[in-house]
Structure 1
């Protein structure tokens, strides 16, 4: 599974080009349905090829655009290591592929920029969190959403033996030749931890903390610890992660059922996410009740405000597309009744511009959208509607 960081999202938003192809499909980790995943991608690629050729683009140009994704179709190892959804982005001289813990609806968009709205629930404020499973023999990191959980491959030592060996080989050999063992059973029988053992655990956890901070860019995403009770406070002493939650999951994570660990973690983090969205929702409703010009559900007003960095908070529906384009030269929003290669989803455009200007975006199902407009925006200061 891959990590989607805010910098990755901004990189996607910054890519502008006439032929920007965004493909989303649901994928499967195991079972017979996994065999259908490459077929699903193949069908979407065929649809994209047909649409590109219909615009007058020459076949060699189309083949060059599609080749990074085409190569995936025959990569058995790639399909054996999937998460819950696959996002593919292709344009001239640029391509990137993400295996992510999100059950995407099948979608193909060809526009002047990449379509990023389905990715938004994966970013911190929208419901993504991490679980760090602590063990002396195998530290693991999981990225989760309310509905999914996936393990992330780690590029740093994940066992105490490995970490201490890499840190100080000679000291490690002395450790093993003495009376102290690095096996969990040896150190923690009866939960008695002598000072030397505790120091070694702390050194190991400092190593894990360093690797974790290098791996995770957005440290505002909540991190939950899972492990036996005597390890959690030691790790907290080593951690510098910005949003390490106070509550943790007690028990041996090596023996823990993954779905149960996910359920316990979600019960810890759910109130945090609900409170953040609830506060934004209530602020919008309060401004509407006051008839304040700082709240708007007018699409044109919100799109222009987003472009000029005036949107503090934006709610957009995940399951709706409104086609058109923003005419920057005339500061005008132009609607279109259908999708064309020279336009884009204006809801997606507003979300992207809000993110680029450090606003927060909640991409939600239509029924959770506040008000009765196409979107809902809280502005940093009042602006006059068009």
Structure 2
């Protein structure tokens, strides 16, 4: 929610790349009569082998676009295999339609940003894309807070929760934290002793100290848990962290 970063997924450079390939192939081969496009292993359309476009530039444009988007979808699927978060599609209406119908991208949200992303500055791209996912994140956060409060407030289930930053951090390292709530902009300095397998909080930052809150959040995420940033008022009095334990 605080920023955006570009990743290189090895995507094709544009429709012009497909157009150049098709022209080259058509110079080497005589295309057979026009028929319905065959899908290739890449998820796109094999151009020179399946079309004879004649003088119809719009048909050619659409076919090149479909081939290009097929390659984009395939590369994106490979790149996003380890990714489990929501996916926001930013594209104009025509491209939105093709990708939603054919690409089968994991986690793609029903709502997207319908515009040409090249027309947006990076900050505006981030703002508009985050606006799509924010209601979902807010709902998930509220559910996590309510679940923690229900468990924490019931003496029969309170043992499945903990709020002391030093205990939360150790539990996170052990993979026992399923849901972690952290107060925004809160830090708890401390040391972790490997020999005791315990964390010891400090009153202030010293040489070699670590932020137990940040450490707990990192360890929770690395072990497949959820982390939600909440307000101080949403946590029990005086707590900087609150955890729901898996066991």
- TM-score of the pair, normalised by structure 1: 0.49
Contact 1:201 1:234 (C-alpha < 8 Å) held by counterparts:
no
Deviation at 1:340, TM superposition (A): 3.2
Which structure: larger Rg? 2
Contact 1:315 1:369 (C-alpha < 8 Å) held by counterparts:
no
Q: Structure 1 residue aligned with 2:236, among 367, 371, 378?
A: 371
Structure 1 equivalent of residue 136 of structure 2: 272
Contact 1:227 1:251 (C-alpha < 8 Å) held by counterparts:
yes
Q: Structure 2 residue aligned with 1:203, among 40, 61, 67?
A: 67
Give the paired residue count.
223
Q: Distance in 2 between matches of 1:349 and 1:261?
A: 30
Q: Does 1:179 align with 2:45?
A: no
Structure 1 equivalent of residue 13 of structure 2: 158
Q: Distance in 2 between matches of 1:360 and 1:168?
A: 50
Q: Structure 1 residue aligned with 2:227, among 347, 361, 382?
A: 361
Deviation at 1:333, TM superposition (A): 2.2
Q: Structure 2 residue aligned with 1:331, among 197, 207, 223?
A: 197
Deviation at 1:280, TM superposition (A): 0.8
What residue ranges of structure 1 are gaps of 5+ in the alignment? 1-126, 128-144, 182-186, 188-193, 382-386
Deviation at 1:269, TM superposition (A): 1.7
Structure 2 equivalent of residue 352 of structure 1: 218
Instruction: Return the structure number with greater strand share.
Output: 1
Deviation at 1:342, TM superposition (A): 3.1
Q: Distance in 1 between matches of 2:232 and 2:126?
A: 26
Contact 1:164 1:204 (C-alpha < 8 Å) held by counterparts:
no
Q: Structure 2 residue aligned with 1:308, among 171, 174, 185?
A: 174
Contact 2:183 2:229 (C-alpha < 8 Å) held by counterparts:
yes
1:250-285 deviations in Å (ceiling 9; x for gaps) = 345555677666554333222111111111111111
Q: Distance in 2 between matches of 1:323 and 1:251?
A: 45
Structure 2 equivalent of residue 288 of structure 1: 152
Structure 1 residues 321 and 256: alpha-carbon distance in aligned structure 2, compared to 1, 3 A threshold: closer
- TM-score of the pair, normalised by structure 2: 0.73
Q: Distance in 2 between matches of 1:324 and 1:167?
A: 62
Over the aligned positions, Cα root-mean-square deviation in angstroms equals: 3.3
Q: Distance in 2 between matches of 1:288 and 1:218?
A: 33
Structure 2 equivalent of residue 319 of structure 1: 185
Contact 2:235 2:242 (C-alpha < 8 Å) held by counterparts:
yes
Structure 1 residues 262 and 319: alpha-carbon distance in aligned structure 2, compared to 1, 3 A threshold: closer
SS at match of 2:144: helix
What residue ranges of structure 2 are gaps of 5+ in the alignment? 29-47
